[in-house]
Structure 1
């Protein structure tokens, strides 16, 4: 049985557990009141203190969500989920703090092992690692300001508000766990990276972190208020209620079932113009600007960035028949791309993709475009805007040809965390087949933790127009977007939000009742 270790947060005493290979973990610490009952769709409230010593040896529940094929079969999901976890080499000292924000398309995800286990990064980087849970799906990103009146004016971007609450807890408490509250780096992947981008643009998050790492950031996937309001109206209709107050009495399983019915499964139908899904809303208060707009305005310039993407972000979908892998006709593919980036850019991009892969199917060309449009190009645009406004950005590209999956979406995260070859990682057999995994993992972990410590991951910061993108898993440095498509993307239009979300066919507005 593991030994316990004690420390005190502002709310009270905590008993964590020591880890066999060094360090300790404090798990399941509440950073806000449970968002249940009347607080279900309300902004997070500060946590209440407790009496005596709280057991912090077991992880709390993951957020309520629909089944995910990557979720462990024994995973626990619940509305009462606003907890965080701290891995620390020693509760004494003053080490850099790395705060992880998980991805999952803002519909799923977890801050607990095996997906998120901070012990190897803690030891390998000599840092304090924090993970926290935030609300996802409708419970985290339902915008009730358009259907609920003034009383619901604060119920928007609740998942982002949860993240700010967790960072405030870190600011106030992490010194008691051996961390330096003045040296906090937030880092996240996919939706977690988009969250980091949003935090950079949120006034309420100012001063809560010093550095930021964005891994495959879909920072352009920010929804317009009109889109979010229609989505909220459709959710109320689908569950059969007239007013937001009535949602409190609806079983969470019914809300989860409804949220899946009113958004498309296909990634293009979610994130390209005309699409809609759950995610950040440009509401003007909690999130007044998109991440790129904030960078262009110089709002992010005082926060050094480590930012990048993966070479083949979406291509694994073709191998596994995931949403987005249905073969489109050539004409339909052209129309979809033109609707997203304009006619000139569409012709140029399709020609460039076909020239690079003459035998590619239309499915592969579509997935290549979606991966670039959603992840690689937004990362490049964010870095460029941040640098031109006076900030520092270190850029990278993950390009390791791992068996079966290659450098597809999310494949770098286990290497950064150092759990790529652990027995509870379902992808461990693939990493073990690639002879460079161990060395690449050490290299990436060192770069990420060194950046968290000093702001310098080990290569030169970005200078516009130069080949300074550090490559992991292949030769470099390179430019991003790559030379083959850079001119094409220069022709593209880039709306600041995902505009014009369409209503679900057959859904009626709650106001029509």
Structure 2
């Protein structure tokens, strides 16, 4: 019996691989021309046709990036990265399609196993799973149109433009893999969720998806053109070039080194007022509105949302700082100053009091991480659901609160549960999931909810009503919980200047 399976796409015939436990995978399919040479730092171009049968059994390189402590060992990176992967139960039929967009602070990430493996979600949910690579870092988000003149018009947010190109490929080809192009759900974590928020606001992405799952979405971290212009100019200076055209000849390794030198290493400094990093730019054309502005205007109401965050978002960074012997040196005064600069003095005092009451023995550094978790992920998730539903859309809310060993419900820890592969691969994290007695039940519950949302638009609980307090809890406890919790909600209602605060603020619950 052959272990291969073949389909014909708009670009040519592919040979994929049958999987031992059922289904098939088609890997490394080009959805755009390689962004190299003259196409480096340019919008994605349609892929060329090929003759014969193209091998689609091998996963391709992730985009150029500097590996971090959680990067899989042996990962391969290359500028020729614009490829899509498809896992399907059967090339016959018309199943819901779930398209994964990876996170990584818009500087790293991968669409290939073990970071992403769609086979268990594909089988468990009876859905077609898609992942793809998009450009990150300066190669994906350097804002050159502001400093390069007319020759660089249209080059903003290249990483987001890659995503639109991938979704167009899905729209045009997914029926050949057994998928339904009229029932496409995006799902993504962290920067991937922020990207989904941007896609909701982008005219070029309209009609390419029906539903969206935003997991820990830092949607407030979108930069003004002036900030992005200064960052791009500093990149050129760091590389010793004077014009954007010269970047075509600079080795990718030098660009990676330079892009790291000119942005803060600390996640909090990047995200707080005055910070900067590589990521989406409100350029006015590719991205004309922020996700919250689009939601408030009713632009997103035709898309059903599933949106939430994790209880212990930033505590993973505490572990990383301890392991590396680094981290900010804070006392109570500097903590107050930083939070007050972000959300105003009344909110700062109330938030610190609430965090301190919940963790009396916490250091200022720990309280800062609690604030940043709210600031970056939990409050934006709540306010996105509020804006979307107040404008007539439907949203379902959740909170991930698993008490996993060591890491708790830290940032990204829900992703393996959603994919259903939390206990399948090797490594420290897989062992951690296997050691926690609630893993099997929680994994089944999350995979089922996410797949059912993709199938019907209903994950299994009541949708959010504006001003409501309840979110579905996925963790050691199963049920519903106030989110944000009552202990911090009143304090966050005092926030000013926070990028998610609407001009007319919706009241948060008491």
**Category of TM-score, reference length = shorter chain:** over 0.9
User: Contact 1:416–1:445 at 8 Å: present in 2 too?
Assistant: yes
Instruction: Give runs of ≥4 in structure 1 deviating > 6 Å.
Output: none
Partner of 1:187: 187
TM superposition shift of 1:496: 3.9
Whole-angstrom distance in 2 between the partners of 1:312 and 1:29: 37
Alignment RMSD: 1.4
User: Contact 1:183–1:453 at 8 Å: present in 2 too?
Assistant: yes
User: Contact 1:467–1:477 at 8 Å: present in 2 too?
Assistant: no
**RCO higher in 1 or 2 (8 Å CA, sep ≥ 6)?**
1
Whole-angstrom distance in 1 between the partners of 2:496 and 2:202: 25
Q: Tell me the SS of whatever aligns to 1:165.
A: helix
Whole-angstrom distance in 2 between the partners of 1:300 and 1:408: 29
What is the aligned counterpart of 1:492 among 485, 492, 495?
Answer: 495
TM superposition shift of 1:237: 0.2
What does the per-residue CA deviation read over 1:147-193, in whole Å, with 9 as the maximum and x for residues that have no partner? 11011011110000000000000000000000000000000000000
Whole-angstrom distance in 1 between the partners of 2:118 and 2:17: 14
Partner of 1:159: 159
Partner of 2:375: 373
Q: Tell me the SS of whatever aligns to 2:148.
A: coil
Q: Tell me the SS of whatever aligns to 1:478.
A: strand
Per mean C-alpha deviation after superposition, the further-off stretch among 310-319 and 471-480 is: 471-480
TM superposition shift of 1:250: 0.5
Structure 2 length-normalised TM: 0.96
Q: Tell me the SS of whatever aligns to 2:248.
A: helix
Whole-angstrom distance in 2 between the partners of 1:172 and 1:423: 33
TM superposition shift of 1:466: 2.5
TM superposition shift of 1:463: 1.1
Partner of 1:294: 294
Partner of 1:476: 479
Q: Tell me the SS of whatever aligns to 1:77.
A: coil
User: Contact 1:115–1:425 at 8 Å: present in 2 too?
Assistant: no
TM superposition shift of 1:495: 4.5
Partner of 1:336: 338
Whole-angstrom distance in 2 between the partners of 1:55 and 1:320: 39
Per mean C-alpha deviation after superposition, the further-off stretch among 326-335 and 272-281 is: 326-335
Partner of 1:311: 311
- Indicate whether 1:390 and 2:392 are aligned: yes
Whole-angstrom distance in 2 between the partners of 1:25 and 1:252: 30
TM superposition shift of 1:117: 0.2
TM superposition shift of 1:355: 1.1
User: Contact 2:199–2:205 at 8 Å: present in 1 too?
Assistant: yes
User: Contact 2:386–2:467 at 8 Å: present in 1 too?
Assistant: no
User: Contact 1:306–1:393 at 8 Å: present in 2 too?
Assistant: yes
Whole-angstrom distance in 2 between the partners of 1:259 and 1:30: 27
- Indicate whether 1:125 and 2:128 are aligned: no
TM superposition shift of 1:73: 2.3
Whole-angstrom distance in 1 between the partners of 2:174 and 2:494: 46
Q: Tell me the SS of whatever aligns to 1:29.
A: strand
Indicate how the Cα distance of structure 1 residues 369 and 76 shifts in structure 2: closer, same or farther if over 3 A, else same. same
Partner of 2:409: 407
What is the aligned counterpart of 2:434 among 413, 425, 432?
Answer: 432
What does the per-residue CA deviation read over 1:340-359, in whole Å, with 9 as the maximum and x for residues that have no partner? 10111111111111111111
Indicate how the Cα distance of structure 1 residues 483 and 495 shifts in structure 2: closer, same or farther if over 3 A, else same. closer
Whole-angstrom distance in 1 between the partners of 2:375 and 2:404: 23
Counterpart mapping for 1:52-71 below 5 A: 52-71=52-71
Counterpart mapping for 1:254-333 below 5 A: 254-321=254-321, 325-333=327-335
TM superposition shift of 1:425: 4.7
User: Contact 2:344–2:497 at 8 Å: present in 1 too?
Assistant: no
TM superposition shift of 1:146: 1.5
Whole-angstrom distance in 2 between the partners of 1:135 and 1:497: 26
What does the per-residue CA deviation read over 1:444-497, in whole Å, with 9 as the maximum and x for residues that have no partner? 000000000100000000012333200001243122211001011111124449
Partner of 1:85: 85
Partner of 2:104: 104
What is the aligned counterpart of 1:349 among 348, 351, 354?
Answer: 351
Whole-angstrom distance in 2 between the partners of 1:306 and 1:160: 21
What does the per-residue CA deviation read over 1:84-126, in whole Å, with 9 as the maximum and x for residues that have no partner? 0000000110000000000000000000000100000000000
TM superposition shift of 1:289: 0.5
Indicate how the Cα distance of structure 1 residues 109 and 29 shifts in structure 2: closer, same or farther if over 3 A, else same. same
User: Contact 2:380–2:500 at 8 Å: present in 1 too?
Assistant: no
User: Contact 2:94–2:179 at 8 Å: present in 1 too?
Assistant: yes
Q: Tell me the SS of whatever aligns to 1:96.
A: strand
